Structures are given as C-alpha cells and as structure tokens.
C-alpha cells in the first residue's frame, strides 16, 4: 500500500470511528428522552404513561419508602397514570392529589432552582414540609437536605417560568 493510500485509509477509519461514536451518543440521548418525557408538567414514562415509574406516591408517606404500584389500582390524573399498592392509597390520592403527588411534577428541585428541568426518580426522594420531592442525583438530594428553604425559595420562583416551557 502506498503512503497516500495509507493516509486515506487512516482518514476514513477516523471518520468511521467518529460517526460511530456520534450515533452511539444520539441513541443514548433518545433513550434518556424516552424515559423522562413530560406530559401535563408531570414527569411520565413516554411509553407507559406512568408517573414516577409506577411507584405508589402515597406509600412514601405511609410506608416511608418507595413501593411499586399495582396495575389493579390505577388512576389517570394530570396527564399521567398513577399506580398504587392498595385501594386505600388510591382513594387517598384521589381525594388529595396535590398533597401526595411530587412537588414540581417530579422534577428535581435543586435543578429547578438552577433554572433547568431534570426528571427526578422515585429511588431518590425526600419528604419535607409534608411534600414529596424527587431528585435526579444523590448530590442534589444531599444539597436539598442541607438547605431546603434556600432551594425551595429559588425553585418556587423559577418554576412558574420553567413549567411553561414543558410539554403539555
């Protein structure tokens, strides 16, 4: 192989590697977007329509832990399907959805305070002031726990504008 052909081969190989990496990043972004789609300003799974990954929002208060909901005890509210572990929790939620649903629609309040929306997860949660908060990162939950009034003040101030940018 001549030197010129070797240079072209190396250039083509480099382009192929870069293109492959670009495709891999694009696919991973699509997958993340599918998991954290929004509807009616509540974080829902784009494919199932489930809010907070199908976890029972009332169980955070009654059992002090995330409990997977059951398809037999569902309610559709706020553009999302909410699942519950028992009929009593379903009834509690229907009577007071604003009390039991995660504040800021399930978005991380620390990120909202910074001016961005990041979907929280049911595995990273905290109850403060009789409200459920979900977090996208362990660091966010730790920061919020250290100074909740600061983050709530900033998140509340920014939420009015940010929620208008979310899908309806």
Q: Please write the tens of the pLDDT for every residue from 64-90.
A: 999 999 999 999 998 899 999 999 999
Q: Is the pLDDT of residue 116 over 70?
A: yes
Tell me which DSSP letter residue 43 carries: E
Q: Which helix (H) or strand (E) holds 127?
A: strand 121-128
Number of domains in the chain: 2
Q: Based on the domain organization, do 55 and 22 belong to the same domain?
A: no
Question: Which residue segment(s) compose the domain that 129 sits in?
Answer: 37-165
Closest CA to 161 of 115, 118, 123: 115
With pLDDT > 90 as the criterion, what percentage of the chain qualifies?
A: 65
Q: Based on the domain organization, do 155 and 100 belong to the same domain?
A: yes
DSSP-based helix, strand, coil % in the chain, nearest 5: 55, 25, 25
Q: Is the pLDDT of residue 136 over 90?
A: yes
Beta strand 131-135 with 37-39: parallel, antiparallel or unpaired? unpaired
Alpha-carbon gap, residue 18 to 20, rounded angstroms:
5
pLDDT of residue 164: 83
Asked which of 41-50, 111-120, 121-130 is least confident by mean pLDDT, the reply is 41-50
Q: Which residue has the tokens 């409200």?
A: 131
103 pLDDT band, cuts 50/70/90, is: very high
């Amino acid at each position: 192989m001549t030197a010129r052909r070797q240079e072209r081969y190396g250039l083509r190989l480099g382009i192929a590697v870069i293109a492959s990496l670009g495709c891999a990043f694009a696919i991973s972004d699509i997958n993340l977007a599918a998991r954290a789609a929004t509807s009616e300003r509540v974080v829902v799974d784009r494919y199932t329509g489930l809010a907070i990954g199908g976890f029972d929002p009332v169980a955070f208060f009654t059992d002090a832990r995330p409990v997977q909901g059951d398809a037999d005890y569902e309610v559709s509210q706020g553009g999302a399907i909410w699942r519950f572990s028992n009929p009593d929790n379903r009834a509690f939620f229907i009577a007071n959805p604003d009390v039991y649903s995660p504040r800021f629609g399930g978005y991380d309040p620390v990120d909202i305070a910074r001016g961005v929306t990041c979907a929280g997860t049911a595995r990273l949660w905290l109850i403060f002031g009789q409200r459920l908060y979900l977090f996208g990162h362990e660091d966010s939950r730790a920061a919020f726990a250290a100074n909740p009034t600061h983050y709530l003040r900033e998140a509340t101030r920014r939420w009015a504008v940010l929620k208008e940018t979310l899908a309806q």
